[in-house]
Amino acid sequence: MRADSLQVLLWQRALEPHAHRWSLPGGRLGATEDVETSIKRQLAEKVDVRQLSHVEQLAVFSAPRRVPGERVVATAFLGLVPSDVDPGLPADTRWHPVDDLPPTAFDHDSIVLRARHRLRSKLSYTNIGFALAPPEFTISALRGLYSAALGYRVSATNLQRVLARRGLLEPTGQTAAPGRAGGRPAAQFRFVEASMSVTDPFAVLRPPNQARTGGPS
Amino acid sequence: MRADSLQVLLWQRALEPHAHRWSLPGGRLGATEDVETSIKRQLAEKVDVRQLSHVEQLAVFSAPRRVPGERVVATAFLGLVPSDVDPGLPADTRWHPVDDLPPTAFDHDSIVLRARHRLRSKLSYTNIGFALAPPEFTISALRGLYSAALGYRVSATNLQRVLARRGLLEPTGQTAAPGRAGGRPAAQFRFVEASMSVTDPFAVLRPPNQARTGGPS
DNA sequence: ACAAAAGTGTTTTATTTACACCCATGA
DNA sequence: TCATGGGTGTAAATAAAACACTTTTGT
C-alpha cells in the first residue's frame, strides 16, 4: 500500500478464470515455508517488491467456491511499503487507489477492504505509521500520509503531539528547505522504532493503579 | 473459554505424536465447508459443544514442522461459551485454567496465549462481554467474569458506568435475591446486543468534529 | 441496630481536540 | 513587509478511575 492516496498493488489476469480482472499478488504455499515467508517470496518473485516495511496476517478466506475449480484456501496479508519506495513493476502490474478499485478477481475486493480497515485502526493505537513513512520526514509530510490512509484530514498539530507524547518520534536535527512560496523550514523527524508495537494500551478497563487486588496476572 | 477463572477446553491425546499431552479441539477442513463452519462442526462432533456465543479467527499457524509428519496448516479460532453453559464432555476432555495449562501438544500453548490476548483486548473496546455472560446477570456477576478474563480485579462501579455509557446494558426490571448475609438485592441486566461490535471507536486520531475537510472517505 | 452488598454522586486525573497566536523564510 | 507554511501555548471537551456516601436487605 502506498501514498498520496492509499494504494494497492494489483496485477491484471491474462487468463481465465476472471481474465482481465485485477488480482492481489500471491501464490501457492511451498512445502518448506510458512505463510509469511511465502507471501514475501511471491511479492519478490512476481512483482519485484522487496522492501516491505511491515507484514501481518489479516484473515483466512475459505469459502468453498470462492475460486472456480479446485478448492483454494487463502491466507490474506496486509503488507506495507514506505511512501518513498517505488519498486519497478512488471507490465501487467499497477498501483490502484484503495477507494477506487477496478473490477477485482474473486473476493479480492473484500480482502482489500479488510486490509484498509486494519490499517486505519492500527494507525490509531500503534506506531504503524513508521511503515508508511520514509526514514526521515516532516510533520506535514507525515500528516499527508496519515490523511491519505485514514481518508480524512488529520491536524498536523495534534498528530505531532499524540506521537510525541507516546515517544514515537525523534527529531533528526535537520530541517527541510521551504518550498518556492517560502514558509518556515520544517524540522525533520524519524520514528524511534521500526517495528510495530501497540502504543495506546487500551484505554478502558485497565488494571487498577495501585495494588493488584485480583487474581493471577 | 469459561468462568470463575478463564478456561480452555482441551482433550488428552491417546496416541502419538505427543501422546498424553493436551490438545485444542479441531480437525480437518471438509471439502464443502469454510473454516468457521468446520470448527463449529468439530466442536459439536468431537467434544459436544454446541452453544458457542462467539467465534472468530485468530491466526494461521503454518510453520512447516509445527506438527511431526505430514505438513499441517492450522487456522486457529477464539470460541466463547457463556459462563452458565456446561456442556457434557467426553471422558478425555476437560476445562483447564488458561493461566495454568498442562503440557500441551504442538504449538497449542501459544495459540491459547494468543486467544487470551485477543479476548482481553476486545473486552476493552467491544461488547464481547455478552459472549461470556448468561442471558441475565447482576453487575457483580459480570464483574466477576470480566475480572477472571482480564486477570485483575475490575471495579463494579466503573464497569457499570463504562458499559452503560456505551448503551450496551439494559435493565431487565428483575432483581436477584440477596445472599444469606443480606445486602441490597441486585438489579439484573442483559446485553442489548448479542453479536460482537466495536463500541469504543479508537479514541485517537479520530475525524474532525465539524466539516469533513479532507480527502475521500 | 448493624453488617453486607448494591448503587449513586462527585472529584480527580488523563488525554485529546480546538484554536489563537508566534516564528522563520522567500519574494 | 507580507504571504506562506511551521510550531507552540493554552483552553475546552471527553471519558475513565477513584472514592465517599447512601440505599436496601438479612440477622
pLDDT tens-digit map of A114-138: 999 999 999 999 999 999 999 999 9
pLDDT (tens digit per residue) in A146-190: 999 999 999 999 999 999 999 999 999 999 988 888 789 999 999
Would the pLDDT of A142 be above 60? yes
Q: Which alpha helices (H) appear in chain B, and where do they start and end?
A: 35-47, 108-125, 139-150, 156-165
Give B88's pLDDT tier (boundaries 50, 70, 90): confident
Short-list A114, A107, A115, A109, CA closest to A131? A115
* Cα distance between residue A204 and residue A209, in whole Å: 13
Question: What pLDDT score does A181 carry?
Answer: 83
Assess whether pLDDT exceeds 60 at residue B210.
no
Nearest Cβ partner of A146 from B205, B216, B217?
B205
**What mean pLDDT is predicted for residues B145-171?**
94
Q: Which of A30, A53, A60 is nearest to B63 (CA)?
A: A30
Choosing among A33, A125, A153, A205, which should be mutated to test the B contact, i.e. which has the most B CBs within 10 A? Answer: A205
pLDDT band at B16 (very low <50, low <70, confident <90, very high): confident
B177 in A contact zone (CB under 8 Å): no
Give, in degrees to the nearest 5, the angle at Cα B154 between B164 and B8: 105
Residue A108 and residue A24 in contact, taking contact as beta carbons nearer than 8 Å: yes
> What is residue B64's predicted lDDT score, i.e. its pLDDT?
96
Q: How far is the CA of B35 from the C1' of D9 (A)?
A: 55
Strands A169-176 vs B7-12: parallel, antiparallel or unpaired: unpaired
> What mean pLDDT is predicted for residues B191-207?
83
CATH superfamily of A7-122: Nucleoside Triphosphate Pyrophosphohydrolase (3.90.79.10)
B195: number of Cβ within 10 Å: 11
**Residue B82, pLDDT score:** 95
Q: Name the 3-class secondary structure at A159.
A: helix
Answer yes or no: is pLDDT of B1 > 60.
no
| For range B52-72, the mean pLDDT | 95
Mean of pLDDT values over B2-12: 87
Average pLDDT, chain A: 90
Is residue A57 within 8 A of residue B59, CB to CB? The reply is yes
The set of cell numbers assigned to B183 is 445486602
Amino acid B217: pLDDT: 26
CATH number for A133-211 (one of 1.10.8.60, 1.10.260.40, 1.10.10.10, 3.50.30.30): it is: 1.10.10.10
Whole-number Cα distances in Å, B188 to B4, B156, B176, B194:
19, 14, 7, 16
Domains of chain B, by residue range, sit at: 7-122, 133-211
Q: Which residue is nearest to nucleotide D24 (CA to C1')?
A: B184
Q: What is the pLDDT of residue B214?
A: 31
b/e code B105-135 from CB counts within 10 Å (16+ = b): bbbbbebbebbbebbbebbbbbbbbbbbbee
B199 Cα distance to chain centroid:
17
The whole-number average pLDDT for the span B8-25 is 94
Does residue B101 contact residue B112 with C-beta atoms inside 8 Å? Answer: yes
Closest CA to A119 of A79, A168, A60: A79
- Phi, psi (5° rounding) for residue B78? -100, 120
Asked if B162 CB < 7 A from strand D, the reply is yes
Cβ of B215 within 8 Å of Cβ of A153? The answer is: yes
Q: A15 touching B, CB under 8 A?
A: no
Task: Provide the whole-model pTM.
Answer: 0.91
CA distance B90 to chain A (A): 29
Distance, CA of A186 to CA of B163 (rounded, Å):
44
A99 shares contact with chain B (CB less than 8 Å)? yes
Amino acid A52: pLDDT: 95
Can you tell me the distance from the alpha carbon of A153 to that of B145, in angstroms, rounded to the nearest whole number? 40
Residue nearest to nucleotide D26 (CA to C1'): B182
Is A60 touching B (CB cutoff 8 A)? yes
pLDDT at B181: 84
A72-81, B1-10, B89-98, B179-188, range with the lowest pLDDT: B1-10
Angle between helices B156-165 and B139-150 (to 10 degrees): 100
Cell 472468530, residue located: B56
Q: Which nucleotides of D are covered by protein (CB under 7 A)?
A: 3-9, 15-20, 23-27
- What integer pLDDT is reported at residue A164 of this predicted model? 95
pLDDT value, residue B178: 86
Spell out the long-range contacts of B168-176 with Cβ–Cβ below 8 A and sequence spacing 24 or more: B168/B127, B168/B129, B168/B130, B168/B192, B168/B193, B168/B199, B172/B136, B174/B136, B176/B138
Lowest mean pLDDT among A30-44, A198-212, B95-109: A198-212
A212 has pLDDT over 50: no
Question: Residue A217 has what pLDDT?
Answer: 26
How far is it, in rounded angstroms, from Cα A78 to Cα A80? 7
Q: Taking the mean position of all CA atoms in its chain, how far away is CA A216?
A: 36
Closest CA in chain A for residue B212: A152
Share of chain B above pLDDT 70, in %: 93
Average pLDDT, chain B: 90
Question: How much is the average pLDDT of B109-131?
Answer: 95
**pLDDT over 80 (residue B215):** no
